[in-house]
C-alpha cells in the first residue's frame, strides 16, 4: 500500500499569530461548576456542596483547577489544529498546563487568548506520516489575572490511514460486558478514593508528611458509556446553545473536515437559525465521540471520550490528593488512547521527589498513569504540586 502523504505547508501561515479569542456571554454560575465536576466524576465537596465549601479556606464554592478549559470552544485544541491539512483526521494528543494561583468562582468571566505554537511531522505505526501540532491558550479572568496556560497538542493524520486501520475487522466494536458482581466490586474500588477526599475534609496535606517513593491512592471510574460521554460534552460551557460569542474565522473545510464528517459546527449564523446543526453532539466532526458509526470512520472502534476530559481527570486526581490547601502548579500529559464505551479508567501515581523550589515553594514531583481494565495505557503524565509546610 502506498504511504499516504500529509501536506502541512499551510500551517506555516498561522504559527505565532494570535487567533480570534473565545468570549463567554454570561459569567459562570455555581451550577456550571457543579455540572463540570459531575461530568468529570470528581466528587470533591469543595466544588458542589455549598455548606462544606463555606467552611473551607475559600469561604464558598470554587471551581476545580481543571475548569478553565470548559469555556473554550475547542476544548483548548483550537490553536493546535488551525490550518489546512487536506484529507486529514484529528485527535487530541496531550496537554501541558501551568497554574498561576487565582481561583475561579461563580460570577467570574474567563476568556482565552490563543496562539499557534509549532508543529512537527513524525512517522507513526498508526497512520504513517503524522503531524503533531501545538498551540497555546492563556486563560484570564475579568480582572486581567492569568489563571492558567494550556499548551495543547493535536495529532493530525490522513483519512486514508485512519480508515485503513479499521478496514476488514470488527474487533473491539462491542462494549465489554460487566456482571453484577463485577460492578459491585468496582463500586467498592471507586469509593476508596472518594473516602480519601472525605477523610481529608478541610485538613491540609502537609509537605513534611509526604515521602518520595510512595504511591498515590488508586482512582477508578466507569464503565464509560455514550451517556457519560454526552454528559461530559454538555458540561463544557461552550456546548450550550447561545453561551458564546462564536468564532467567525472557523472553517471546518480548512481543518480538513469534508464529506461525511463535515458540518457547520459552532457556526454563529447557523446557530441563530437552527442550533442543532451547529451542535457537535449531533453533526460535524465531534459526533465521532457519540456515534459508533462515525467513531469507526476516523479509526476508533466505538464511542470514545474527549481528550480535554482526560486532562481534567489528571488535574483533578492530583488536586484532590493535594487537599484544598495544595495546588497543581505544572503538568505534562500525553494521551495514548481515548477512553472507550464499556471500559473503566484506572488512575495511579507515585511521588517521585520533594523539594523547595527557587521561589521558596514546597513542591512535590509526581507521575500519573491512566489505564483501562485490560492494562491498555490511556495517558501518562508528570506534574509538580505545591503543598504547605507544617507551622512551627
What does the pLDDT read at residue 253? 61
Q: How confident is the model at residue 1 (pLDDT cuts 50, 70, 90)?
A: very low
The predicted-structure confidence for 243-271, as pLDDT tens digits, reads as follows 999 888 776 666 655 667 777 888 888 89
Regarding pTM above 0.95, the answer is: no
What distance in Å separates the CA atoms of residue 219 and residue 347, rounded to the nearest whole number?
5
Percent of the chain with pLDDT over 70: 94
Q: Is the pLDDT of residue 375 over 70?
A: yes
Phi/psi for 249 (5° steps) reads -105, 10
What distance in Å separates the CA atoms of residue 37 and residue 188, rounded to the nearest whole number?
20
The predicted-structure confidence for 26-45, as pLDDT tens digits, reads as follows 999 999 999 999 999 999 99
Sort 222 into a burial class: Cβ within 10 Å, 0-12 / 13-18 / 19+: buried
What does the pLDDT average to over 232-248?
Answer: 92
Mean pLDDT for the chain? 91
**Residue 15 in contact with residue 117, Cβ under 8 Å?**
yes
Q: What angle do CA 298, 175, 348 make, to 5 degrees?
A: 90
Distance of CA 73 to the CA centre of its chain: 13
**Owner of C-alpha cell 484529528:** 90
Sort 141 into a burial class: Cβ within 10 Å, 0-12 / 13-18 / 19+: middle
- Grid cell for residue 354: 520533594
Amino acid at each position: 500500500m502506498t504511504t499516504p502523504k500529509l501536506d502541512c505547508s499551510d500551517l506555516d501561515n498561522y504559527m505565532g499569530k494570535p487567533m480570534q479569542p473565545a468570549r463567554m456571554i454570561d459569567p459562570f454560575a455555581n451550577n456550571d461548576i457543579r455540572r463540570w465536576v459531575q461530568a468529570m466524576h470528581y466528587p470533591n465537596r469543595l466544588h458542589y456542596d455549598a455548606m462544606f465549601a463555606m467552611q473551607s479556606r475559600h469561604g464558598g464554592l470554587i471551581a476545580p483547577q481543571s475548569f478553565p478549559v470548559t469555556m473554550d470552544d475547542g476544548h483548548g485544541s483550537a490553536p493546535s489544529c488551525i490550518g489546512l491539512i487536506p484529507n486529514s483526521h484529528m485527535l487530541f494528543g496531550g496537554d501541558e498546563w501551568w497554574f498561576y494561583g487565582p481561583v475561579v468562582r461563580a460570577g467570574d468571566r474567563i476568556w482565552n487568548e490563543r496562539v499557534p505554537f509549532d508543529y512537527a511531522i513524525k512517522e507513526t505505526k498508526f497512520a504513517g506520516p503524522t503531524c503533531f501540532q501545538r498551540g497555546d491558550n492563556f486563560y484570564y479572568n475579568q480582572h486581567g489575572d492569568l489563571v492558567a496556560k494550556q499548551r495543547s497538542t493535536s495529532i493530525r493524520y490522513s483519512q486514508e490511514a485512519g480508515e485503513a486501520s479499521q478496514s476488514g475487522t470488527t474487533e473491539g466494536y462491542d462494549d465489554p460486558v460487566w456482571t453484577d458482581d463485577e460492578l459491585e466490586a468496582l463500586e467498592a474500588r471507586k469509593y476508596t478514593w472518594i473516602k480519601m477526599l472525605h477523610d481529608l475534609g478541610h485538613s491540609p496535606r502537609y509537605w513534611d508528611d509526604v515521602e518520595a517513593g510512595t504511591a498515590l491512592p488508586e482512582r477508578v471510574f466507569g464503565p464509560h458509556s455514550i451517556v457519560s460521554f454526552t454528559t461530559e460534552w454538555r458540561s463544557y460551557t461552550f456546548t450550550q446553545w447561545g453561551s458564546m460569542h462564536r468564532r467567525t474565522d472557523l472553517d471546518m473545510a480548512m481543518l480538513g473536515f469534508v464529506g461525511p464528517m463535515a458540518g457547520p459546527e459552532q457556526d454563529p449564523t447557523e446557530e441563530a437559525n437552527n442550533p442543532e446543526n451547529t451542535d457537535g453532539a449531533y453533526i460535524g466532526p465531534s459526533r465521532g465521540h457519540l456515534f459508533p458509526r462515525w467513531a469507526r470512520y476516523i479509526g476508533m472502534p466505538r464511542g470514545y471520550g474527549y481528550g480535554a476530559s482526560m486532562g481534567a481527570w489528571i488535574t483533578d486526581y492530583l488536586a484532590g490528593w493535594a487537599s484544598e490547601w495544595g495546588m497543581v502548579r505544572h503538568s505534562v500529559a500525553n494521551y495514548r488512547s481515548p477512553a472507550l464505551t464499556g471500559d473503566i479508567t484506572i488512575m495511579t501515581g507515585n511521588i517521585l521527589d520533594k523539594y523547595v523550589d527557587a521561589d521558596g515553594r514546597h513542591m512535590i514531583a509526581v507521575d500519573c498513569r491512566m489505564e483501562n481494565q485490560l492494562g491498555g495505557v490511556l495517558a501518562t503524565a508528570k506534574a509538580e504540586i505545591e503543598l504547605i509546610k507544617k507551622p512551627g
